[in-house]
Structure 1
Amino acid sequence: MAKRILHDEYFRKAKQEGYVARSAYKLLQIQQAKSVIRKGDRVLDLGCAPGAWLQVSSPLVGPRGRVIGLDLQDVRHPMPDNVRTFVGDVFEYPPEDLVEAAGRGFGTVLSDMAPKTTGFNEHELSVRLCDRILETLPTLLRHNGVLVMKVFEGAEYPGLLKRCQRHFGKVKGFKPKASRDVSREMYVIAHYYRHPDRRDDDTPKPRDADA
């Protein structure tokens, strides 16, 4: 019963504070712990509907920043002026168009996407989804940028972390308190993207002590 009360608490908070989904608190907690979004940033939210992560990202980037969302479904909830959304398949939509809408490459790429199917292969499918996201980064994510993406824990999870470490200077798993206790969901938090077109020895500027 206690678990259900906790979960209902986030649902009620979302309604009271104007968020379209309780998932807003996952990103808020990720931001508080790992500082993944900066003022003035360009942020891309893959699989953005219904829009809770867009709502969280907007004030974090501020009026000089920009948040771009992409999903197969239209985001119907009104969004602030620094947010633009597009309808399309994450892996088929031209990435150059997203960068153009942002004005420059993204400093942070977010993904709260999960496989549509549930069951014994949910973990494997979520890992494949993350691998496909990694493949899109050279066009989307700037050098030293940040990636946040959801995956379900399982046998292939450590391998995914190792693959992320090939592309990022620092990679950690993180489970927000707002995630349901019974869920296997985990968020891969990756800082300091090593863009393939940048082979220099830039010294990354840490976003916080625990980044």
Structure 2
Amino acid sequence: MSGTPDFFYREAQRLGYVARSAFKLLQIQKQYKIITPGSSVLDLGCAPGAWLQVACQNLGPLGKGGVVVGIDVKKVKVPSMHCDERVTTVCADVMNLPREQVRALSPQQKGFSVVLSDMCPLVSGITTRDAALSAELGMRAIDLAVGKAAHDRTVNNAFEEVQSDGSGSSLGIDGVLQPGGHLIIKLLESEDVKEFSQICKPIFRKASWLRPKATRSCSREIYLICQGFQYRVRE
């Protein structure tokens, strides 16, 4: 990082967070209460681990249970501060990881209640190229989280396709996000981001955009906060 360390960088060091990005999730958590005690959290693009720390902090006491699973192409060591044994990391390329393998990482293989995607491409400085790569990562996060629900543009269509097999699992839900769960996606602002709203608004109770205060002034990062996945099971 060039120049004088900014406020969030200094605060991260003071409070034991491995990166200033912790404050982005802290703000999201404060405003939207995405992670609750006992949540099962999937963190896509988890390096260097700041979001793992914030997610674990919001799981509540150990007795409440919950898990945080981080996936990144880089090998990420679980930070020693703010994390406990409920946090694990996997070194893998999310772009090539089958949904079944990701679901297998969740408790009882029943999926996650929260999916976080802080994935970002290696920025080239070519605005259109970077935005396109960011959109590709964002679409992958949606595909992993909600599966074919992303292709349904009306909630009614989604409801009709899902049935229960009577065992507590649901046929037709092929993503890793549980019904009622939440999804957060980081994107770079461009014309492409409109499509994300069009996909997510029909299948979530609420979808809204946020530019966290900890975002650098020169950055085009923006987050889509999707609450309450509405792909419900029909008995």
Same fold (TM over 0.5): yes
For the pair 1:73 / 2:74, whether they are aligned, the reply is: yes
Stretches of 4+ moved more than 4 A in 1?
none
CA distance in 2, matches of 1:95, 1:52: 24
Report the CA distance between 1:95 and its aligned residue. Answer: 3.4
* Secondary structure at 1:39 match in 2: coil
The question of whether the paired residues in 2 share the 8 Å contact of 1:112 and 1:149 is answered with: yes
Report the counterpart of residue 23 of structure 1 in structure 2: 21
Q: Quick one: which amino acid aligns to residue 127 of structure 2?
A: F
Report the counterpart of residue 52 of structure 2 in structure 1: 54
Report the CA distance between 1:200 and its aligned residue. Answer: 4.2
Q: 1:10 to 1:42 in 2, by over 3 A?
A: same
Q: Single out whichever of 41-50 and 58-67 deviates more from structure 2.
A: 58-67
Structure 2 counterparts to residues 123-202 of structure 1, below 5 A = 123-138=131-146, 139-195=175-231, 198-200=232-234
CA distance in 2, matches of 1:184, 1:120: 10
For the pair 1:88 / 2:92, whether they are aligned, the reply is: yes
**Count of residue correspondences:** 195
Report the CA distance between 1:153 and its aligned residue. Answer: 1.0
Q: Quick one: which amino acid aligns to residue 112 of structure 1?
A: D
CA RMSD of aligned residues (A): 1.9
Q: Single out whichever of 160-169 and 96-105 deviates more from structure 2.
A: 96-105
For the pair 1:120 / 2:120, whether they are aligned, the reply is: no
For the pair 1:107 / 2:113, whether they are aligned, the reply is: yes
CA distance in 2, matches of 1:177, 1:23: 10
Q: Quick one: which amino acid aligns to residue 135 of structure 2?
A: V
Question: What is the CA deviation profile of residues 116-147 of structure 1, one whole-angstrom value per residue up to 9, with x for unaligned ones?
Answer: 23322212221222112111124310001100
Question: Which 5+ residue runs of structure 2 have no aligned equivalent?
Answer: 147-174
CA distance in 2, matches of 1:32, 1:90: 28
Q: Single out whichever of 12-21 and 92-101 deviates more from structure 2.
A: 92-101
Q: Quick one: which amino acid aligns to residue 110 of structure 1?
A: L
Q: Quick one: which amino acid aligns to residue 141 of structure 1?
A: L
The question of whether the paired residues in 2 share the 8 Å contact of 1:68 and 1:98 is answered with: no
Report the CA distance between 1:28 and its aligned residue. Answer: 0.2
Question: Which 5+ residue runs of structure 1 have no aligned equivalent?
Answer: 202-211
Report the CA distance between 1:191 and its aligned residue. Answer: 0.8
CA distance in 2, matches of 1:154, 1:97: 32
Report the CA distance between 1:53 and its aligned residue. Answer: 0.2
